[in-house]
A and B are shown apart, each in its own frame.
Chain A
């Protein structure tokens, strides 16, 4: 009787039912909330694309696609061509890849195939610390340590040995394309080597064991079985590094010399898209000038979108392929 009465009044079922209903409501609200914040990331990237395109429109209408391959940059007469900056960006990034890719590959191979596990963990940590150095600090070091070293030790040697090439001729400033390429290489080595390391680590052990069973040396295993197997992922890692190099701003601005010219010599100063944004953006006097600068930011955005999509696709293909084979 004492507990039949509440049951008869229907008290116990009621809270349960209402809890279910309100609970479902809570779940639905929570799901919507989470979805909104998840979708916010997509909206943000779309907003960046729209805002940049909108703000770049005056320059796009005025100069058309020729903006990218004319080389007169003349804020006084409102004539803007981005070629010197495109050249500087591409040249400094290419140079960075040339220096960084062999080193990063060596690092990745050593970490995965040669070093004992404990050493490998410690070295990975140290190399990732390199990525944690703020860009502006590397730039400071570039101005006062790297550039003088390049001028006094690297450029004289290069011009003495390879001076007959236009690439290594002309006056030696220290500050210039070569210094920018070196500092970019330092900045992308951590990402290229750590992604390559993950790719090599995903190569199935059978691949190595089969080669060893055939009597191969360790180097033959690495160069013929492991690295070729991971080549797609390694290409992805290199493209990821390229993406970083193309958009890197502070350290490059501080050592590249900031002169909008196209020169065949690596010793000469140059200018990159990111650097001209950093230097001229807050001083842009006319609307068209500002719009031209924003168009260059839009170019960087588009390039980084393509590069990231490509690299992501390649790395995912390499690692999931290996996972399936395992």
Chain B
């Protein structure tokens, strides 16, 4: 495309006609600068509003019982979401069993041997998987696992989240492994150490911090997912009975409570939002701090 070559004369022609910077042009310049700043403010305003409401509404509803008690029956005040917190942790654990090994080894393949056509296709499908609406993943797991098992289960929910985790871990692992200086790998190979040992014990190990950062970000993302759990893990108002049984999660519980017509449930929903948001932000900030460290190390 000859964009660069044909844009310039046209743009330049207009400017030459205008000649010296007139007052009108300077004012336009200034005003458009403010418009762009306004766009930033408009984009950030919802974030401020969401965080503000979560902190104010959530803090007033949050208490110790939220972390230690089961949900109270309708009409009874009090109760908590202890089962949902444990359920979310269980689901994340199950998802990691699927997403972490497949993600790391897939990413290592892309970094070590992924320059060909196969690598292109894997990257492409990973991007498609990453952009896939999460509810579609839920439908897939429903047809694959829930229908044959004849019931909703923690396993199905964990698998759905695990599928969503794969592309995230694949792409960050590839990026982080590619950051490892090739001199390290060459030194190891020159010592007669096999490629596979070099790959696992020198290259992947050097990239460990970055890979863990990627996993943390992936966990932050899937921990906040609701749609793929609605008809895989379903929900449960009691302690989980087993991995082949429906399981509660913070997000599904939050959804159920927020669309219910009870004020007490709304308060609990805000409390759940505060807990979920705190965990998500913490993971994001921690991952970012670790990631920055990693990059400065690579840059030196």
Contacts and interface: CB of A to CB of B under 8 A. Distances in A.
B138 to A, nearest CB: 8
A110 B196 contact: no
Contacts of A33: 105
Given A140-B273, A225-B7, A321-B1, A219 B139 contact: no
B231 A211 contact: no
B133 interface: yes
Interface string B148-165: 000010000000000100
Contacts of A55: 143
Contact of A207 (B4, B101, B281): B4
Interface residues of A, number: 101
Given A40-B106, A44-B166, A214-B15, A254 B39 contact: no
Contacts of B19: 215
A38 B280 contact: no
Contacts of A254: 255, 258-259
A282 interface: yes
A123 to B, nearest CB: 6
A277 B139 CA distance: 8
A274 B12 contact: no
Contacts of B143: 51-52, 54-55, 294
Interface stretch (A67-75, A243-251, A259-267): A243-251
A2 interface: no
A136 interface: yes
A224 B11 contact: yes
B131 A308 contact: yes
B139 A249 contact: no
Given A41-B170, A304-B131, A229 B122 contact: no
Interface string A32-66: 01110111111011011001101100000000000
A94 interface: no
A27 B139 contact: no
B38 interface: yes
Contacts of A130: 43-44, 46-47
Interface in A106-151: 106-107, 109-111, 114, 123, 125-127, 129-130, 132-141, 143-145
Interface string A1-37: 0000000000000000000000100110111011101
Interface string A256-293: 00000000000000000010011001100000000001
Interface in B111-143: 112-114, 118-119, 121-122, 124-129, 131-140, 142-143
Contacts of A325: 4
A301 interface: yes
Given A137-B254, A145-B49, A304-B132, A281 B230 contact: yes
B238 interface: no
A143 B200 CA distance: 49
Contacts of A42: 121-122, 125
A196 B38 CA distance: 17
Interface in B254-292: 254-255, 258-259, 266, 269-270, 273, 276-277, 280-281, 284, 288
A157 interface: no
Contacts of A129: 47, 281, 284
Contact of B40 (A110, A218, A305, A308): A110
A37 B21 contact: no
A37 B259 CA distance: 41
B135 A247 contact: yes
Contact of B258 (A143, A216, A220): A143
Interface string A205-248: 00100110011111110111100110010000000100110111
Contact of B227 (A45, A135, A246, A301): A135
A105 interface: yes
A204 interface: yes
A102 interface: yes
A13 to B, nearest CB: 14
A52 B143 CA distance: 8
23 contacts: A35-B109, A35-B118, A41-B106, A41-B122, A103-B43, A104-B39, A114-B33, A136-B224, A139-B255, A141-B54, A144-B266, A193-B43, A211-B8, A223-B32, A224-B15, A240-B131, A247-B134, A277-B135, A293-B139, A301-B132, A308-B127, A317-B1, A321-B1
Given A48-B136, A277-B138, 17 more contacts: A27-B196, A30-B199, A34-B112, A37-B109, A41-B106, A51-B140, A104-B43, A127-B43, A132-B220, A140-B269, A141-B53, A143-B259, A224-B7, A232-B3, A274-B135, A277-B139, A301-B136
